[in-house]
Amino acid sequence: MGGELSYAIVGTGPPVLAIQGAGLIGRGWKPQFDGLSHQFTFVTFDNRGIGGSSRGAGDLTIERMADDARAVADAAGLDRFHVLGHSMGGLIAQHLALTSRDRVKSLALLCTFADGRRARDAAVGANAPARAAKPHRHESDATGRDDQDDHAGCVHSAK
């Protein structure tokens, strides 16, 4: 039931974990981190089954995807961080904030809604909690940028 999550780290400054919605790759945040990467460190990733991330086995749920986001933050070495969620990423961000209150400094929600029950229609299946993830760094930068200060990698999920 494992999988691999592709992520990238861009910029310098306070860390921001940016979570995209359904069907959008982490690189979709490029306009934001191009304009703000001199002030913030952005960690972006591709949700399961999108871009460079494998789907893995098992059901997709908001809870499982929030576990994925937490695993990416762990792999990126983020202790406390700001969270930015767009669309379905906002639902993931809300669940992450509620289950990791000691780590989330702030929460910014864009074009999303608060009722996570509606997200079940967008996700496939029922609850399938993710297990701990292991980091693995790729040679290429998932953002398409070649700056040496940028990092890219993936997280291997055990479930």
- 26-81 pLDDT, tens digit each: 999 999 989 999 999 999 999 999 999 999 888 889 999 999 999 999 999 999 99
Whether 147 is covered by a domain: the verdict is no
CB contact at 8 A, 119 and 94: no
Q: How confident is the model at residue 111 (pLDDT cuts 50, 70, 90)?
A: very high
pLDDT in tens, 3-13: 899 999 999 99
Whether 145 is covered by a domain: the verdict is no
Tokens 């929600």 identify what position? Answer: 109
Residue 112's SS3 state is: coil
Whether 144 is covered by a domain: the verdict is no
Q: In the chain, how many domains are there?
A: 1
CATH of the domain at 17: 3.40.50.1820
SS3 content of the chain, % helix, strand, coil (to 5): 30, 25, 45
Domain that holds residue 57: 3-139+152-157
CB contact at 8 A, 86 and 111: yes
